[in-house]
């Protein structure tokens, strides 16, 4: 389907510089632009591409002033990134449409499904599960007993949601994520073997959360593992039982959070960071990639880095010192040689 520059500008409240009738039917990166595609320029370091791109339309910021002639049609907006994201969302909705209930599906007679929700083939909905309005649930999703799913939720293929979990409005769960699997709870016996402790809690996910592919969120032993509203989780994250993550916190891939740790609001956690159990992390804390957090961070707005994680200024001092280690070792070896020479001289003079 083709869209004109005029139609696109109307959607994103933009100003057209060029031909308002030019049309596009696909999207492209600015460096790979081809005729009939729409792209955007948000980062100044890519500006050179706008003078040679073949894209028919490029979205730019209002303050963009070309240094050379631009042949493509421009649409100027307040924020090119946000405008392009809005168009991507609209494009994704149109190209990944799902309507009705495909067959085969299994829907328990005690389950309820809200108006205008769509289920792809091979979805399994268990007893007393509740699915809200305008949801899209893709193939091979399993929804356990007594699960409650809000409105406008999107659940991608292969997701497993265990019994009694609660999913808030407008949440997006990507492929093969597991919500509500057993927490890692065992007691050690006298002979060194382990006995499993039943995990009878659930997971509560509030509204506007996004959960990446292959991420696992464990059920609480008692009570709930809680993901508060607006949280964004990347792919391949492990969140253990009874963890609580505050509003609008963002966590990158391969992070592991151990049981009963409480993460504050608006925190940022870099990839491959590890956080031990039973800790408290204050609001607005930034944890750098690869960090190992072994103690609570109680001061809001703190930035930590390293393993073990320390405040950023301390970690930088350590890194500077580490760079000097070869030089320091050589100096130490030289001092030892000089000391040995002095000892020999003193022994000879006795």
280-294 pLDDT, tens per residue? Answer: 999 999 999 999 999
In this structure, the answer to whether residues 81 and 173 fall within a common structural domain is no
Q: What is the pLDDT of residues 34-70, one digit of tens each?
A: 999 999 998 888 999 999 999 999 999 999 999 989 9
In this structure, the answer to whether residues 67 and 129 fall within a common structural domain is no
Q: What is the pLDDT of residues 286-315, one digit of tens each?
A: 999 999 999 999 999 999 998 888 887 787
In this structure, the answer to whether residues 13 and 133 fall within a common structural domain is no
Q: Does any domain span residue 332?
A: no
Under the banding of pLDDT at 50, 70 and 90, the label for residue 95 is: low
Q: What is the pLDDT of residues 110-158, one digit of tens each?
A: 999 999 999 999 999 999 999 999 999 999 999 999 999 999 999 999 9
The domain that holds 221 is classified in CATH as: 2.160.10.10
* Angle, alpha carbons 217-291-184 (nearest 5°): 30
Residues 6 or more apart in contact with residue 124 via CB below 8 angstroms:
105, 106, 141, 142, 143
In this structure, the answer to whether residues 147 and 194 fall within a common structural domain is yes
In this structure, the answer to whether residues 84 and 117 fall within a common structural domain is no
**Which of 156, 228, 241, 248 is an active site residue?**
241
Residue 18 has pLDDT above 90, yes or no: yes
Mean pLDDT of the chain: 93
In this structure, the answer to whether residues 219 and 293 fall within a common structural domain is yes
Q: What is the mean pLDDT of residues 169-193?
A: 96
Beta strand extents in 184-329 (DSSP E only):
186-188, 194-196, 202-205, 210-211, 216-218, 224-227, 232-233, 238-239, 244-245, 250-251, 256-257, 262-263, 268-269, 274-275, 280-281, 286-287, 292-293, 303-305, 310-311
In this structure, the answer to whether residues 118 and 262 fall within a common structural domain is yes
In this structure, the answer to whether residues 70 and 214 fall within a common structural domain is no
Among residues 72, 95, 118, the one where a domain terminates is 95
What percentage of the chain exceeds 90 in pLDDT? 77
Among residues 95, 114, 132, the one where a domain terminates is 95
In this structure, the answer to whether residues 247 and 128 fall within a common structural domain is yes
Distances (CA, A) of 204 to 89, 161, 169, 182, 273: 26, 11, 12, 14, 23
Structural domain boundaries, residue 85:
3-95
Q: Does any domain span residue 331?
A: no
The number of folded domains in the chain is 2
Among residues 95, 122, 157, the one where a domain terminates is 95
In this structure, the answer to whether residues 305 and 184 fall within a common structural domain is yes
Active site residue 241: yes
Q: Does any domain span residue 138?
A: yes
């Amino acid at each position: 389907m083709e869209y004109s520059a005029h139609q696109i500008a109307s959607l994103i409240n933009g100003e057209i510089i060029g031909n308002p009738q030019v049309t596009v039917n696909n999207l492209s990166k600015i460096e790979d632009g081809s005729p009939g595609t729409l792209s955007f320029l948000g980062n100044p370091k890519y500006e050179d591409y706008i003078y040679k791109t073949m894209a028919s339309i490029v979205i730019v910021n209002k303050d963009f002033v070309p240094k050379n002639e631009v042949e493509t049609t421009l649409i100027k907006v307040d924020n090119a990134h946000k405008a392009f994201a809005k168009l991507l969302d609209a494009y994704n909705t149109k190209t990944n449409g799902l309507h009705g209930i495909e067959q085969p599906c299994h829907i328990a007679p005690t389950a309820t499904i809200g108006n205008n929700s769509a289920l792809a083939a091979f979805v399994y909905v268990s007893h007393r599960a509740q699915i809200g309005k305008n949801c899209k649930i893709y193939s091979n999703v399993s929804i356990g007993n007594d699960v409650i799913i809000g409105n406008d939720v999107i659940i991608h293929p292969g997701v497993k949601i265990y019994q009694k979990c609660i999913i808030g409005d407008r949440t997006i769960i990507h492929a093969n994520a597991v919500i509500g699997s057993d927490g890692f709870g065992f007691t050690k016996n006298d002979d060194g073997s382990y006995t499993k402790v039943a995990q009878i809690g659930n997971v509560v996910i509030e509204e506007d959360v996004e959960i990446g592919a292959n991420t696992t969120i464990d059920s609480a032993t008692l009570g709930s593992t809680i993901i508060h509203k607006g949280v964004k989780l990347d792919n391949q994250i492990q969140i253990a039982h009874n963890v609580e993550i505050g509003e609008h916190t963002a966590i990158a891939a391969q992070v592991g959070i151990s049981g009963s740790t409480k993460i504050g609001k608006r925190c940022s956690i870099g990839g491959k960071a590890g956080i031990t159990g039973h800790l408290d992390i204050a609001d607005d804390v930034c944890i750098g990639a690869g960090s190992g957090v072994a103690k609570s961070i109680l001061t809001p707005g703190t930035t930590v880095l390293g393993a073990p994680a320390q405040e950023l200024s301390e970690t930088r001092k350590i890194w500077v010192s580490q760079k000097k280690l070869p030089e320091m070792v050589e100096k130490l070896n030289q001092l030892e040689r000089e000391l040995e020479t002095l000892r020999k001289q003193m022994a000879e003079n006795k």
